[in-house]
Structure 1
């Protein structure tokens, strides 16, 4: 309906008018402001809106509004033919994988279903057969094809970070008493970095905790990264905010305890609220230190002088209890890329040329399923047994293959 006074479509009927409410409903945390789904959905909705307005697509694509109308697309212009064209657009020449096309379309389809429930649309056009027909079939990728650290890879990586941490800590703790203060600080920082990296690797390798449960997620304010107050080294447990949106205790097996205890002693956090895995990004720490000291009333010159007394801002932050943020999930990937290269680990995977964080969890799942079966593995992985059976179905298939081979050999022996 056109507003007679302005000649424009009422804003409530424009596609973008629904985005904020939809994203708030789908978001997590206070006010629905957080969550990976919200962030990803927002990105795909913006792309869909741009495409519908003629700002994406082929050179001859002008959008879904009439060419003689200067406004954004409205709900009245949506039907199953529009979603069919968008499916074709996603499956075009952008080089997207089949399952990626399916995922991107699913975000738009979910929004379309929400619009029906909220009264924006009369029907779920995006799910009609004619709309989804251009979508590619699933690429057939099985859970077992996803990266899982092999025992050899896990051993190589954990041995490498252990050697690096031992050497760095020994170099720091055996410095002569008359060494220059800044040189001592540099040695301590190197030891802290190596100890932090070792602790991160062993936690990812042996606990099967999801990286999003362990570290900070910028898209979800509830996931601020594990703090020392969340860890009990005596009981061997760690409180994490699970994928199921609640706090729960995760187990810390023996290979994790010693590296964490050594790292904590070296770090000596001023309070229990310090992150276990703080960022070491120099720019982030420099800004944090300057802002915090300024807030405490110190003048700029004094701040510069204080920073000049330290080889690294992290050491000043420790002394003055200026709590840094945890590293992010992306930061963990960068660390593992660096360590995988340095450890010269042989990796043959179509998607990752390094040991990705989720591969540690899947690798531990492989170990548990093979050693103790699906029920025990499901409890440790914080998943349903049904899901674990599905994700590690290749293990059961392999065991059944061995059983079949044994049966065939038995029959052949009887016939011989």
Structure 2
């Protein structure tokens, strides 16, 4: 006779035992193992568990288990006072910004609500007013989600990467005939890297595609990064796996086509299944080459000799059609940090001292809303019109301010 799963769920269940089921329910992909939400929620649940066990917090904090009991924290130890103490811990002990406190608490609150639905808890203690009282007020903004590239910044970064790519390609294509093989390879590698960086910046600046839709996310196997087979430069479109969990076509406006076309010609990928933006990380490519050539029957000594023929492993994977992984979203941030610094772009933002990937999307949203209104911008951004109106409400507020000014002038107040 099968046991009812709910009968195994009780108030004596250790906290950690409930976490895995919750994370599987919230995760993406096969088995619920992927997704950014799962990764972030797991991090905060682990912190909550450490705090509950007395391993985090002030020196005099001993955890939520009674002092005379020797066991790990369980669901039966939870009540609204526990969540109130944790809210106070987040708000006062860690020096976090108010929106970050709210974000971290929401992960714990969501798990608490799940525990109620699954029969672990009788009430959603985390959402009670007394539990949430120590939390700072939320000003409605998401931390780190407010940067938008200005027109000046967009022009500065695209001009910078264009000049770098043009110089590197010209240096490679005009090498003297007697240039040594390794020197030619170094020049080709530099040309490929600058051309890739230029194409990436132009795509982020003008398409408004989310960086997670464009590149590989190690936490979500479905987001493997766009491949050349996903692009149609003739039609000006690109297939991406959208945030709404389905494939959809994104537009490639005119400014993006030329950088992509010249980059593709220079790279000449062995197959259409190659990533558009492969990683250039030397350690990753070194391991990939060694493993792939070993699988093809090459001995270690022969592999070493083969690698020594190339200035960079990237050039070897191109010649041998060893398909590399796509650059990751973190990799794109590193690229933009480097380029923002070399371009000496003036950036005034409380969180980012570089042009962050999401800022390109948000900056393009500003352009679209001002030029064509919220409805058209929502279609291009793959968002609801309601969300676009909320995120770009400052534009409408400014326009209404102009109307008010004009009205005052009309009545001559």
TM-score (norm 1): 0.95
1:44 aligns with 2:41: no
Q: Report 1:77-156 matches (<5 A).
A: 77-139=77-139, 141=141, 146-156=146-156
Q: Report 1:221-240 matches (<5 A).
A: 221-240=221-240
Instruction: Give the match for residue 264 of structure 2.
Output: 264
Instruction: Give the match for residue 190 of structure 1.
Output: 190
Q: CA deviation at 1:406?
A: 1.1
Instruction: Give the match for residue 390 of structure 2.
Output: 390
1:203 aligns with 2:197: no
Q: Following the alignment from structure 1 to structure 2, what is the Cα–Cα distance between the partners of residues 305 and 58?
A: 57
Q: Following the alignment from structure 1 to structure 2, what is the Cα–Cα distance between the partners of residues 208 and 13?
A: 45
Structure 1 stretches of 5 or more lacking a match? 1-9
Instruction: Give the match for residue 410 of structure 2.
Output: 410
2:57 and 2:93 in contact (8 A); partners too? no
Q: Deviations over 1:257-290 (max 9, x none)?
A: 0000000000111011111001111111111101
Q: Deviations over 1:172-204 (max 9, x none)?
A: 111122211111110000000000000000000
Q: CA deviation at 1:93?
A: 2.9
Query: Partner of 1:13: helix, strand, or coil?
Result: coil
Instruction: Give the match for residue 323 of structure 1.
Output: 323
Q: Following the alignment from structure 2 to structure 1, what is the Cα–Cα distance between the partners of residues 400 and 77?
A: 54
Query: Partner of 1:148: helix, strand, or coil?
Result: coil
Q: Report 1:297-376 matches (<5 A).
A: 297-376=297-376
Q: Following the alignment from structure 2 to structure 1, what is the Cα–Cα distance between the partners of residues 308 and 145?
A: 51
Q: Following the alignment from structure 1 to structure 2, what is the Cα–Cα distance between the partners of residues 142 and 223?
A: 23
Q: Following the alignment from structure 1 to structure 2, what is the Cα–Cα distance between the partners of residues 143 and 173?
A: 45
Q: CA deviation at 1:350?
A: 1.0
- The total of aligned residue pairs comes to 404
- After superposition, the Cα gap between the structure-2 partners of 1:76 and 1:142, relative to the gap in structure 1 and judged at 3 Å, is closer
- After superposition, the Cα gap between the structure-2 partners of 1:270 and 1:12, relative to the gap in structure 1 and judged at 3 Å, is farther
Instruction: Give the match for residue 76 of structure 1.
Output: 76
Q: Following the alignment from structure 1 to structure 2, what is the Cα–Cα distance between the partners of residues 96 and 221?
A: 32
Structure 2 stretches of 5 or more lacking a match? 1-9
Q: Following the alignment from structure 2 to structure 1, what is the Cα–Cα distance between the partners of residues 397 and 68?
A: 60
Instruction: Give the match for residue 66 of structure 1.
Output: 66
Q: Deviations over 1:117-168 (max 9, x none)?
A: 1111111111111111111101454899811000010001100100000111
- After superposition, the Cα gap between the structure-2 partners of 1:308 and 1:144, relative to the gap in structure 1 and judged at 3 Å, is closer
Query: Partner of 2:349: helix, strand, or coil?
Result: coil
1:144 and 1:392 in contact (8 A); partners too? no
Instruction: Give the match for residue 289 of structure 1.
Output: 289
Q: CA deviation at 1:171?
A: 0.7
Q: Following the alignment from structure 1 to structure 2, what is the Cα–Cα distance between the partners of residues 64 and 12?
A: 14
Give the stretch that moved more between structures: 145-154 or 295-304: 145-154
Q: Deviations over 1:31-90 (max 9, x none)?
A: 101000000000111111111111111111111112122211111111111111111111
1:205 and 1:361 in contact (8 A); partners too? yes
2:11 and 2:76 in contact (8 A); partners too? no
Q: Following the alignment from structure 1 to structure 2, what is the Cα–Cα distance between the partners of residues 350 and 405?
A: 31
Q: CA deviation at 1:11?
A: 11
1:213 aligns with 2:224: no
Query: Partner of 1:348: helix, strand, or coil?
Result: coil
- After superposition, the Cα gap between the structure-2 partners of 1:47 and 1:68, relative to the gap in structure 1 and judged at 3 Å, is same
1:143 and 1:390 in contact (8 A); partners too? no
Q: Following the alignment from structure 2 to structure 1, what is the Cα–Cα distance between the partners of residues 245 and 108?
A: 24
Q: Following the alignment from structure 1 to structure 2, what is the Cα–Cα distance between the partners of residues 234 and 12?
A: 62
Q: CA deviation at 1:30?
A: 0.7
Q: CA deviation at 1:92?
A: 1.2
1:11 and 1:17 in contact (8 A); partners too? no
Q: Following the alignment from structure 1 to structure 2, what is the Cα–Cα distance between the partners of residues 73 and 143?
A: 31
TM-score (norm 2): 0.96
Query: Partner of 1:196: helix, strand, or coil?
Result: helix
Q: Following the alignment from structure 2 to structure 1, what is the Cα–Cα distance between the partners of residues 291 and 32?
A: 29
